[in-house]
Chains A and B, each alone.
Chain A
């Protein structure tokens, strides 16, 4: 069963508009929040145990508390540069409930004392951008944004900024570089954005879902929020399920929900006659799980970590036995090679190396040494760079090769049993 906390009213088209949103309790949490002390809100978010929903899973309240006590202008940035392959939840959240995000942002801005926020939205999301722009306009017209919001004395301005096609801008410092009008190259840490971020000002970057969840925490209180999920991974989470399932889509379930139930109950399982082969549980950068692991894992930060993977952005990519893991790895390597910003040498060169090696293994021109080399290259790309893209390219390689070794070996030893290539040409799913 889904537990619809964030997505409760997503089926109502009017929820998109301010009036519709207000009909369902909209902006009442802002009114409530404005009567609290900012620190109280931060403390609530901390106590609620809300962890970043964008990928890294860092506790949001803790991040906020890293802000230095100085007079610099603080910025809040909503990371809506959804780009992790497999992920499409932020888009739905913005399309169906833009005010939920805006309300969460105003509350968060109040909590951290920020007069200005940006929603950095990925460039391809033209439709979402229009919807959010309209919602911001409505909010300004109703004194929910601007000076002296609802006569509280708190002023906050919000703007939207469109990306232009770069996965790396989903990394928070890459996003900040991009917002500053530069190439979206991640910045050296330290300093961390909370200390020196946007234009060297203290900056908090949070994901769409994270910020929207702040509203829920205000509404339900710490205990109410913690009613769902596990002790260490409280709350609900939107999972984007894609790949070889009958009913792909976004599903909101409490953290700790069994992956097998998501696949086989909520998503209607696999197509007739197919068997589960593997699942990537947290977006393409998360290490892959084999079928056995997938069937036993619960979708929370801790249980996934114990299986050597991660929750990431909550994008579940379900892979059935019609797929060649070698081919899928090549697809992913193509992606990371395309998206490496080119700044750090191990990533810039390594992603290309991984792609070339995957290609030669797939084409049957490689030998066992090349499979070993693939792993060696990947292992030397981990933890060596400014941001985690290099790691994100290495994780799939290491997990794909170690968990599907025989498949890689067979490509590298026989004259490529091309059975996978033959079976992989599928008819269109909903054709």
Chain B
């Protein structure tokens, strides 16, 4: 290719000259030129419907106004949406959208992120002439476990229908009847429960489709959003995490053309629950031996004097001293899942390798038979976000990777078994089997951010809390080798040791007890937010 000129064409958007790739639609050109353009039905991940009629533009030399979503930019094209005529068209277009809309914003959970509100604020005419009775349609229709439909709020942009036809290919949704009686729905009470159903909630520009899990939990203007990646499988979709000082509330896909396009699966949306207090391992649960040792860790950490970080430190110091007593490194087992970051593995393994001459690890991987499964959209059989990363780190550090089923033969010889436990329990089908191995080893040190209740009854296990994956951050390598960086987010649970702090303690270094990224505030009464149960 001789370069730029062959692939790019130039055009002018509202007087601003820009270069765009060939086969770019005019609406994309507006986005590239950072010019405002109203629209509802257009979505870059779906086919063009051209039905909201809001992205009106004038093309120099064409007497008729056109819609930008169905116009392809050609070399030298001059397009604009700044004329009085177009502005008036858009104002009226918005009024047509609102004509039969119930305007029940105060009780609508979309408020604050509603396309109708946002675009009216920007483009509306603020003197509506609507004085007729509105068409009544169905409200609060349950579409299954995940989604609620309010068809009065629906503006019939057909995004959700196109999603179920074109992306999930599950064909649940349709628009029935015609004219202003048209209504989105499923046939005969069928449910909208496919693996990707909640994407329809994301792309619904209004409050017609809302998520049962999220609705009425928080008003969105009290939430901040952070970029992250989903760790629910080896695809590693880019996501947004919505959170505030009360915790994490929602996971949404972040557009990423290189990986997940505009979508994510519904399973991945549970991620936030594993980050919140309710599911977390928040304190040390010492084994009998640890609680009676020199480094005695109290199991009744509810007392305010005992902080999680100090008891973790004690437990890890104990682990360090115990490890030093073992001369034969084959008596030390390290059991890891593919759910940790490259940095986590490196830090942890290098200490163990240097100090304790560890030269092998046990890999806990429970999708041996389904690891190559793929649903042709996003969901992959390997339910670990970083299997590739784990194997790469092990290879670089010359650590032998042994399948965890081998513990069947070796567990009883182990004096210490260190576990980096699963963060998503449901993807680890052999938990019960592993618990049996734990019992066979002399001592088990189980690190995890998530509480695994069945461990409590096993007396030789010490559970040590970890920061959650978004508190730790780090690099994850997905199924196709795409390296994705997860940035570090505020801590939900204060005073839990970071991975590098743990490594330092194991290495005999001194650490400061206050964690580095304590940004959260204590939960305070917020008159606008609902109590979480």
Contacts and interface: CB of A to CB of B under 8 A. Distances in A.
B179 A345 contact: no
A362 to B, nearest CB: 14
A353 B98 CA distance: 12
Interface stretch (A270-278, A320-328, A335-343): A335-343
A376 interface: yes
Interface stretch (B4-12, B128-136, B338-346): B128-136
Contacts of B53: 344-346, 384-385
B45 interface: no
Contacts of B182: 342, 348
Interface of B: 48-54, 56, 64-65, 70, 88-89, 92-93, 96-97, 99-100, 129-133, 135, 155-156, 175, 177-182
B134 to A, nearest CB: 10
Given A188-B48, A188-B70, A383-B64, A345 B156 contact: yes
A373 interface: yes
Contact of A376 (B96, B129, B180): B129
A334 to B, nearest CB: 11
A349 B97 contact: yes
Contact of B93 (A341, A346, A356): A346
A385 B411 CA distance: 72
A293 B178 CA distance: 36
Most chain B Cβ neighbours within 10 Å, of A341, A345, A373: A345
- For the complex of A and B, list the 9 residue pairs with the smallest distance between their C-beta atoms, beginning with the closest: A342-B182, A340-B179, A380-B92, A356-B132, A352-B180, A349-B96, A342-B178, A349-B99, A188-B50
A353 B181 CA distance: 13
Nearest to A166: B178
A345 B175 CA distance: 14
A417 to B, nearest CB: 24
Interface in A230-287: none
A216 B76 CA distance: 46
A314 interface: no
A386 interface: yes
A350 interface: yes
Given A346-B96, A353-B99, 5 more contacts: A344-B51, A345-B52, A345-B156, A348-B182, A383-B64
Interface size class of A (residues with CB under 8 A): 20 to 34
Contacts of B54: 345
Contact of A338 (B99, B131, B179): B179
A209 B278 CA distance: 74
Nearest to B100: A349
Contact of A384 (B93, B130, B155): B93
A183 B178 contact: yes
Nearest to B50: A188
Contacts of A344: 50-53
Contacts of A352: 99-100, 135, 179-180
B56 to A, nearest CB: 8
Contacts of B70: 188, 190
A350 B48 CA distance: 22
A78 interface: no
A206 interface: no
B119 to A, nearest CB: 13
A41 interface: no
A397 interface: no
B180 A357 contact: no
Contacts of B64: 383
B89 A342 contact: no
A351 interface: yes
